[in-house]
Amino acid sequence: MREPISPTGLDFRPVSPKLVTVRLLERGLGSLLTVAVASLPLVLSLAGPWRGFPGWLAWGILLLTVLITLWRLALIPRQVRAIGYAERDDDLLIRGGIFFQRVMVVPYGRMQYVDVSVGPVERAFGLSSIKLHTASASTNAVLAGLPAAEAARLREQLSARGEAKLAGL
Amino acid sequence: MSTVSGPRSPNDEAQGLPPDKVFGQGAGFRTDSVDEWHRVHAVSPLVRGWLAVVALIFIFGRNSFDDVLASVRSGGRQSPAGAPAWLILLILGAAVVVFGIAFFLSWYYTRYRVTNDHVRVNSGVIFRQQRQARIDRVQAIDVVQPLLARIFALAELKFEVADAGKSAMKLSFLRLDEAQRLRAAILARASGMSVDPRQPSAAPQAPERPVLALTPGRVAGATLLSGISVAALVLCAAAIGVLIATGSPSILAVFIPLALAVAAAYWKAFTTDCNFRVAQSPDGVRLRYGMLDTRAQTIPPGRVQAVGITQSPWWRPAGWYRVHINVAGYGSDHRDSGARTVVLPAGTEAEVMTILGLIFPDPGTADPLGVFRAGLRGKGPAYGFIHSPPRARLLDPLAWRRNGYRFTDTALLCRHGVFFRRLQVVPHERTQSLSLFQGPLMRRLGLADFELHSTAGPVRPVVHHLDLATAQDLFTGQAARAATARRIGRPDRWLEESKHEQ
């Protein structure tokens, strides 16, 4: 694996490994639905209504969907390990992604507000997501999979630092 | 009479302004005390609702006209299907009364007030709304005059705060001079300008200095040499092709609506940019434009978040550029087809430099003309631009020497494009957030995209396909420069600072 694009010499903190389970559950449920839809041609052609439908195509669609789904599920652990954040004096860095890597820096003084959200699956594992909003709509700074206590600490920390460094627009 | 010095309020340590900051003595002009409320002009419901009135008259008028025709054709007898005339009149009368009452109530319940610190608007009959906005949060003020309002010498005032395109306060309509006084009052308060304590409600109107005006010829030329003409040419070619292929001219009727759309687009582009003038005042940059509907925009200093300069290939022979800005109050602005975010519809290089000088008084470099010229037209590493490495040729076969950036002491310049040339300028202190991006192909080539996030608007600064190490340098360096610039940043009230530049 090549080195990440984030600036070197920074101590990025990882998010909770429990996020792997959360994502597997969430995406797994969605994948079940996708696979069910993809298996429709096969079921229909075997059961009767679509008797003319070529069998190899029906099997192919199902197989391809299952393969892609499995691959996406298999990627999750690496994706979660790629997520990291680093608090600096003036700003917060967030990185993520394996094939499509992105690293973002959000200055504390530019934050308009901070969202902490918890979904049902996340709650079961004691995790929360945090999202930073600036005046720019392009700032898409989401940090998922933080332990609830860490999320609360980060929120307080960000708010306090935002207050201290507050600049206008 | 009114001298502009002395403390503005007890908790506000306003310093006396130096003599060159004393503006011309404006005529009677004030902000409101606590219990003073105003209403918009009494004609305004009509000006706002004239389309509804016209539609009503048109629909009922046509029906009764048909009835009259039918009765004439049937030899004077009342047509059995048509409604009797008294019913039509009754419906029309009822509609007028209902609309009239609705207009009157909405007018009666809309009240506004401009105090020293806030603007307040109360509106709504059943669902009441009270809105209050802090004056020093103003991002821009527009005075808009649609054609009908111009006939009545009325104007609409729009007070913009940073909420991406929705007007915080929209007063439609006021008398034109009243709107201008209100604008001056708001801007004077917003600037933090100190006001004579003995006459707290009097404030002078800031003087204006005309900077440039576009000739009708330029606007017409720019309209002709635009994407509309490309569309028109494609349309003509398609029409000729269809004619040759089918041989029947009657099929050309299909193209009539399209031709009308092209004509309308030409008309709209020309009338919008017509009479484009730029002036400078201590309140900010003032833009005026429009032929039938006119608009005067005021953008106070420091409210411009980013500037984008573009040149399409068909403007290259003429050497014209178009300048867009991001202002937090304007948002991405789809409703007005983007006209509000244009600070120069078609200008020469010298005019572009003039505008840039108004928006960013300090370019942060010793040779601004050379640097910006290199950004607008240049290629390669001249004037300190850092561009994509040669291995980016796979992704940008033509533009790799053009895609690049350069920072000055005050701003970051991003340039791209060979056919459609673009230069984006963002002051360091207006940086919201930054990001680096790398896809699989870029990863193989060791490249990365750099993005700078500005407020919503037409300018989205980005540098494509930089060398990874260069991009990382830019990323960390720009974050540090933005942090430094924020610390020494200018306050919201731009005249409060004594070392404010003219």
Strands B209-213 and B277-281: antiparallel
User: CA B432 → CA A132, B305, B470, distances in Å?
Assistant: 12, 9, 21
Residues of A in contact with B455 (CB under 8 A): 135-137, 169
Smallest Cβ–Cβ distance between A134 and the set B432, B480, B491 belongs to B432
pLDDT recorded at residue B10 = 35
**Interface probe with B: pick from A85, A104, A105, most Cβ of B within 10 Å:** A105
Q: Does A90 touch chain B (CB under 8 A)?
A: yes
Query: Model confidence over A9-22: pLDDT tens digits?
Result: 888 999 999 999 99
Q: How far is A36 from chain B (nearest CA, A)?
A: 31
| Per-residue pLDDT tens digits for B256-295 | 899 999 999 999 999 999 999 999 988 889 999 999 999 9
> Residue A152 pLDDT more than 80?
yes
How many whole angstroms separate alpha carbon B175 and alpha carbon B156? 9
Res B164: pLDDT: 60
pLDDT of residue B83: 63
Dihedral Cα B175, B176, B180, B183, nearest 10 deg:
60
pLDDT digits (tens, 9 = 90+) for B414-465: 999 999 999 999 999 999 999 999 999 999 999 999 999 998 889 999 999 9
pLDDT of B116 reads 80
pLDDT of the residue at A46: 84
Distance (Å) from the alpha carbon of B102 to chain A's nearest alpha carbon: 38
User: Please, what is the average pLDDT of chain B?
Assistant: 82
Distance between terminal CA atoms of chain A?
Answer: 40
Q: How far is B329 from chain A (nearest CA, A)?
A: 11
Extract the tokens encoding B368: 């601004």
Residue of chain B whose alpha carbon sits nearest to that of A94: B435
Q: For B198-239, write each residue's pLDDT tens digit.
A: 444 555 566 889 999 999 999 999 999 998 999 999 999 999
Q: Which of A108-117, B74-83, B145-154 has the lowest mean pLDDT?
A: B74-83
pLDDT(B143) > 90? yes
Beta bridge partner(s), residue B493: none
CB contact under 8 A, A105 and B433: yes
Test the B interface: residue of A136, A139, A140, A165 with most B CBs within 10 Å: A136
Which residue in B435, B470, B488 has the most chain A C-beta atoms within 10 A of its own C-beta, making it the best mutation to test that interface? Answer: B435
Which strand (E) or helix (H) includes residue B344? Answer: strand B342-347
Ranges of beta strands (E only) in chain A are 13-14, 84-87, 91-96, 101-107, 113-117, 127-133, 141-147
In this predicted structure, what is the pLDDT of residue B28?
A: 42
- Least CB–CB distance from B435: residue in A7, A104, A137: A104
B-chain CB neighbours of A104 within 8 Å are 433-436
Question: Does the pLDDT of residue B196 top 80, yes or no?
Answer: no
Residue B340's pLDDT is 87
